[in-house]
Structure 1
């Protein structure tokens, strides 16, 4: 069995045909497009998504409908250099045509399972108060994993140069790393 087939085999039965894979550099443009079209994420430069796929592929995932298909969803993250037991989830997004099926939750669960093998036991992310879908995603993630969820303002809106940015609320979820309900 190839690694791609193993990933496919791990996808829950409610996602037939969905392949969970590490991103490749060629996926950068599709990931950028999904982030842009989300209408809620801060869009980074297209160059940054290419770098992300190269430098942080081990802590990021994409969902595809076939091994050679473009991503239909993604989660990007990195392990904090000063807290190697903490995964920072940078962005999670699902292409419009695939929303409402639980792909974001699937990717988040799979990513935390994979990085747990490297000693990760906590997840951090930031969510603006107006981003209800992300709040729901991370709140339900904490509940599925029977983990605590702490919220504190990490960056006040006034710190951002445009002057109209909402505060970024830090969500710290721990402990994580086992399969949901385990």
Structure 2
């Protein structure tokens, strides 16, 4: 880890708003499920999947906790792509309604990628966004600008590929190379 990466990590772990960015724990799974459910935009996975995510992918995910009670108020779930281990695929980003509009999603994403770069040599990220999800489009394009990275977009999954047929297409955003 470079000194700059250590400074970036330290800057984002403790925040002046009484929040702390941390690794998720299994006990956080229920709160992540609730935050995702209440978001109104995310595809809600089973509660079981959030428990597994907090167990198996804690090293490549973050939660933001209220320091006063330890309760999660936001999260980013991600994993390293098996066929591209230097690429972090960001699965979901969500912030509790009471903490939205403060730049928390961007700070979590920055903190996570700083850690993933230091620990795993990550050089780029990927995510998928459905057309019209303006908040996610802004989050990831501004992330790319902050990190001096290019953004490539292409449809990853068409509507017809989803078995229920009612899902919008998922557009893959490839962001990199990162300069952290």
Indicate the RMSD between aligned Cα atoms, in angstroms. Answer: 2.0
The yes-or-no answer on 1:162 pairing with 2:164 is yes
SS of residue paired to 1:41? coil
Aligned residues: 173
Structure 1: runs of 5+ lacking an equivalent: 1-5
Q: Deviations over 1:41-90 (max 9, x none)?
A: 00000000000000000000000121751100000000001101100000
SS at match of 2:155: strand
CA distance, structure 1, for counterparts of residue 13 and residue 101 of structure 2 = 15
What's the CA shift for 1:134? 0.5
Q: Structure 2 length as normaliser, TM-score?
A: 0.91
Between the aligned partners of 1:165 and 1:23, the Cα distance in structure 2 is: 29
Q: Note the C-alpha offset of 1:161.
A: 1.2
Task: Give the match for residue 58 of structure 2.
Answer: 57
1:123 and 2:159 matched: no
Residue 11 of structure 1 deviates from its aligned partner by 2.7
Query: Hey, what does 1:22 align to over in structure 2?
Result: 23
Quick check: 1:92 aligned with 2:93?
A: yes
Unmatched runs of 5 consecutive residues or more in structure 2: 1-6
With normalisation by structure 1, the TM-score equals: 0.90
CA distance in 2, matches of 1:102, 1:13: 14
